[in-house]
Amino acid sequence: MLRVRPITTRDNDLLKTIAIESGTGFTSLPDDEALLEHKIEQSISYLSRPAEGPSPVTYLFVLEETDTGEVLGTCGITSAVGLDAPWYHYHIGTIVHASHQLGIYNEFRTLYLCNDYTGSSELCSLYLRPAYRGSGGGGLLSRARFLFMAEHRQRFADRIIAEMRGFTDQHDSNPFWEGLGQHFFSMHYQQADFLTGSGNKVVIAELMPKHPIYIHLLPPEAQAIIGRVHPNTEPACRLLQTQGFRFENYVDIFDAGPTLAARPDEVDAIRRSRRVEAVVDPTPAPEDARSYLVSNTGSSDFRCIQARLQPTLTRVRVTPELANALEINSGDPVRLVSLPGATTA
């Protein structure tokens, strides 16, 4: 059975492997052993503390196969970005140049360096290892975060963002960086990518131009990928859009990947999820049972699975196998939400 749980120190080596596998552009998990160890330790520490308000910490989770203990992927939620260092984006805006006397009117798209998403919670670090893609694990890994956020709202901000990985070409290069960023630095895309993932995005921003950038002056290749996602990120982008996330004309200053945003109550799985009482019963679910995402209500011991269930308004029957995966007993509360295709919450 596939299950999402918080990361632990025993996942250290696996996270290093994922950091290498994910490649250029996956900046939230850089190939930096010391930084990855710090991220794991910080996640474990903050999840074990009483709930507080939003803070600059990233909660990390993994997807595991309960029968073997094998870890198939990872995901994360940053409680609040930009509280420990400035958080930069480019906002796509419009400047009008017009002359009534000459009868000329032109609108130009521009990029403005800004900190508009400061304090937002961020979905990050979603990665499913290639051998396990197409199995449904990616959807569980991504959506499980919404049940955690619904259950622990006080840990998160009133706006959620997700930076989508930007496009890279067959040479593992980014045309936006080549057309803009590299003119202000003496380094290749991969080196700048590593600096960004290692927490030096502020250094990148400090060297970027502070004035509006006219998009039409950039090379056509750079213009074409503004707001375009990496092919490997397209499924995650589509899932977030079905959940209520939208593009608000903000892109990454580094690779021009789009940032999606939503308020918590606009996120479908958060809005529709509800608490019910679990009743452990060996009776299998009936044939007309629907697919649900279900989790316990813990933080450091959070567990989330997908199962066919038939809940009432106040209770849900779960088999001993499901109860063991969720690490719950009869009478414990669980949080659940129906998956696409189901007609009830």
* Distance in angstroms (rounded) separating the CA atoms of residues 316 and 334: 9
Token pair 């990029």 is found at 111
| Cα 102 → chain centroid | 49
Q: Does the annotation count 216 as an active-site position?
A: no
State which H helix or E strand residue 50 sits in.
none
Token pair 């959940």 is found at 243
* Closest alpha carbon to 308 in 320, 318, 295, 298: 318
Phi, psi of 13, rounded to the nearest 5 degrees: -65, -40
* Closest alpha carbon to 173 in 23, 21, 32: 23
What's the one-letter identity of residue 55? S
| Cα 252 → chain centroid | 14
User: Between the CA of residue 152 and those of 52, 62, 308, 335, 341, what are the distances in Å?
Assistant: 10, 18, 24, 11, 26
Q: Any idea what DSSP says for residue 274?
A: E
Question: Annotated catalytic residue: which of 38, 171, 183, 230?
Answer: 230
DSSP string covering 73-126, please? EEEEEES-SSSSS---EEEEEEEEEEETTTTEEEEEEEEEEE-TTTT-EEEEEE
* Distance in angstroms (rounded) separating the CA atoms of residues 178 and 174: 6
Q: Which two tokens stand for residue 339?
A: 């998956």
State which H helix or E strand residue 245 sits in.
none
What's the one-letter identity of residue 38? H
Torsion of CA 337, 339, 341, 344, to 10 degrees: -10
Q: Which two tokens stand for residue 178?
A: 């080549």
Active centre residues (catalytic): 230
